[in-house]
Structure 1
Amino acid sequence: MEKQTVAEEGYVYVLGVKDIDLPVSKIGRTTRDPAVRCAEINQSSTGDFIWEVTHQIAVSDCRKLELLVHEKLSPLRQKRREFFNIYPDAAIRAIESILASASDLRMVTLNEIRMEDPRVSERTIVPRRQITRSGKDTIYAHLLDGFTELLNVKGRPFGQLNKPTFGISDGHEGVQWNLKIRPDDQTARVGVNLEGLAYRGWPIAALIKSELGTPVLPRLVPQLRDRQNITLRFARDAWQATARPSILEENLGGREFHLPELTGDLWHTILTEALGCLNKERNYLGRARQTVTLVRKAGLEPESRIMEVSPHLTIWTPVDPSRDSVDELSSAIERLLPIHDWASKASGA
């Protein structure tokens, strides 16, 4: 017999990225003030953006409405997360439509719900389009919006506003476009990115083996426009569960390289080191295990440890946030387009 759940009065809320318009929302439920729940999320160590409550609905059964919303919006949901590739204003319209079609659910007034934290007052949630931004935030918003518009993608955010870097990728499982922003020095970069992940057939392994057999990238470099402003970084990612801690052996080849430095011999050396970061016994379709040196907090000695590792390729070019964002981004993407085409073909992704 199916177990009946007790209806739970509470909120279904929509969180948006604070101060920046992104096509991403976090949709959840709580029996408390959503502002309290949002503060808890921001204080957690999830590594995501700083969130703010953009919308909330008080209903007779928040658990059931949340399940309905997550089910209806599942095509927009990011894997294993309560994040949806949808603007907050569109998310609340979808929630209102789902609520209207659910005959056994009803809206309730805020006074019907117990406020567990007296420090948080009831307030009207201001729609994001009415929020006033600082000049710096507006620059970042224009960059992020321009990235999604130029590439015609919804985008997937990464990083956090109070961390050294944050940004957005096209979310492709394989060769990706990404935009990384460094708020501290107000710089940004557009990159072509291929991580050492399984995706469909470990495309990073296909790229490495293809280039070791018939190297194409060194012959492509002289044909690139503004190649002196394009940088190659082939990294070693160390894995601790799903986290990637910092290690001393991070840069394959010892450092990043401007593309004009990339000789055939240097490229072969980097590729050979990258291949060693994959599991030879599985035909390189998986992570290898290597001894790496963990970078510890200040005052603590580095620690050597055997960990799973994988290679991670990024080729990037800088953009200036202070200039016209669309022109800057368009020029950067055009500069890297041959790189993206090469990486996609070499990796089969």
Structure 2
Amino acid sequence: MNADDANAALISIFNSQTEIKKIDTEEIMPKNIRPKSNSTTKKRKHSFKHIDSEYAELLQLFASSLNVKGRPFGQLNKPVFGMSDGNEGVQWNLSVNTETGDICLGVNLEGSEKTGKWLIAPFILNKPNIEIIKSRVSKPDDVTLNFSRDAWQGASRLNIKEKLIGGREYPLSEINQEVWSSILEEALTCLDENKNYRGRKRDHTVTLESDDRELLKDVSPHLTIWSSLSIDGDIEENIKNKISELQPVYNWVVEATQS
């Protein structure tokens, strides 16, 4: 994390505390040594999105509902952040988008360069039957499948135009076997065939969202199957109900990762 992001993350933590009082430096510093105004500082202050303490409570309830410590992902000064259960294979995760207000709970599976666990490879190669999970989920219209392409620059993911495998997200109810087979075939091209598909595809051409530049980057596939989470009423009960609703999805993904 660079210095600016670290500073913004710390500010978000301070802002979520009720016991900490923020004091303007103008109030405590003598006039002759007050810092001069800085346009960069002002810009950062206006662009930073305050993270409501409700989100911190939400992440804590998610971890306690699964009886795990939890592993945060993303950055608090970015629009999207959240927490996973910390499992190295199939994961439960909860994500928050502060720009749209969307809160999603889902099942996540991706490869890992650090641990060497590439359970997403057998998942793709086993070609799990999509009709099975559609029949096991009580509300397939409310469950969305997102198979994406992660383009890597160091430890960071780039925003690329080819992000969504299959061109878009799909409600489970809209995916037939033909569409699913096409998605799996495209996802497989994001893995290194020379490593028996247990590694990122090297030097894959991607297009940056920001300026349409084409770059050669390492890519890997990333599966998330999620559903919207309501924070109205009893949040903890909502989380537990959503986990129960998606338990068949979690089991289906785990079954499909078995070599």
| TM-score of the pair, normalised by structure 2 | 0.79
Aligned counterpart, 1:345: 255
Matching residue within 264, 271, 288 for 2:177: 264
Q: CA deviation at 1:141?
A: 3.1
1:238-317 equivalence runs, <5 A? 238-289=151-202, 290-296=204-210, 301-317=211-227
Aligned counterpart, 1:160: 75
The answer to whether the 8 Å contact 1:169/1:178 transfers is yes
Q: CA deviation at 1:283?
A: 1.1
1:193 maps to 2:153: no
Distance 2:218 2:54 in 1: 38
Query: Highest Rg: 1 or 2?
Result: 1
Aligned counterpart, 1:45: 5
Distance 2:81 2:13 in 1: 20
Kindly provide the amino acid, as one letter, of the partner of residue 209 in structure 1: L
Q: CA deviation at 1:281?
A: 1.5
Q: Percent identity among equivalent residues?
A: 42
Cα RMSD for the two superposed structures: 2.5
Instruction: Give the number of the structure with larger relative contact order, counting CA–CA contacts within 8 Å between residues 6 or more apart.
Output: 2
Kindly provide the amino acid, as one letter, of the partner of residue 107 in structure 2: V
The answer to whether the 8 Å contact 1:224/1:338 transfers is yes
The answer to whether the 8 Å contact 2:5/2:77 transfers is no
Aligned counterpart, 1:232: 145
Kindly provide the amino acid, as one letter, of the partner of residue 120 in structure 2: I
Deviation string, structure 1 residues 136-160 (Cα, Å, up to 9, x no partner): 8343233212111110000111223
Kindly provide the amino acid, as one letter, of the partner of residue 173 in structure 1: E
Q: CA deviation at 1:242?
A: 1.3
The answer to whether the 8 Å contact 1:232/1:315 transfers is yes
Distance 1:53 1:232 in 2: 32
SS of 1:342 mapped into structure 2:
helix
Distance 2:250 2:200 in 1: 24
Q: CA deviation at 1:227?
A: 1.6
Distance 1:237 1:153 in 2: 26
The answer to whether the 8 Å contact 2:111/2:117 transfers is no
Aligned counterpart, 2:21: none
SS of 1:174 mapped into structure 2:
coil
Aligned counterpart, 2:88: 173
Aligned counterpart, 1:202: 118
The answer to whether the 8 Å contact 2:71/2:86 transfers is yes
The answer to whether the 8 Å contact 1:179/1:191 transfers is yes
Distance 2:4 2:249 in 1: 37
Q: CA deviation at 1:48?
A: 8.5
Identify unmatched segments of 5+ residues in structure 2: 15-32, 36-50
Q: CA deviation at 1:174?
A: 1.2
Instruction: Check 1:152–1:49 CA distance in 2 against 1; reply closer, same or farther (3 A cut).
Output: farther
Distance 2:8 2:163 in 1: 23
The answer to whether the 8 Å contact 2:141/2:172 transfers is yes
Distance 1:48 1:287 in 2: 32
Kindly provide the amino acid, as one letter, of the partner of residue 313 in structure 1: L
Kindly provide the amino acid, as one letter, of the partner of residue 69 in structure 2: K
Distance 1:47 1:242 in 2: 20
Q: CA deviation at 1:47?
A: 10
The answer to whether the 8 Å contact 1:140/1:321 transfers is no
Kindly provide the amino acid, as one letter, of the partner of residue 292 in structure 1: V
After superposing on structure 2, the runs of 4+ consecutive aligned residues of structure 1 that deviate more than 6 Å are none
Distance 1:185 1:279 in 2: 35
1:16-165 equivalence runs, <5 A? 43-45=3-5, 49-50=9-10, 137-165=52-80
Identify unmatched segments of 5+ residues in structure 1: 1-40, 55-117, 121-135
Q: CA deviation at 1:42?
A: 8.4
The answer to whether the 8 Å contact 1:155/1:169 transfers is yes
SS of 1:292 mapped into structure 2:
strand
| TM-score of the pair, normalised by structure 1 | 0.59
Kindly provide the amino acid, as one letter, of the partner of residue 331 in structure 1: N
Instruction: Check 1:161–1:274 CA distance in 2 against 1; reply closer, same or farther (3 A cut).
Output: same
1:336 maps to 2:246: yes
SS of 1:148 mapped into structure 2:
helix
Kindly provide the amino acid, as one letter, of the partner of residue 180 in structure 1: S
Deviation string, structure 1 residues 241-285 (Cα, Å, up to 9, x no partner): 111111100000000000001100111000000001001111111
What count of residue pairs does the alignment treat as equivalent? 224
Distance 1:208 1:47 in 2: 40
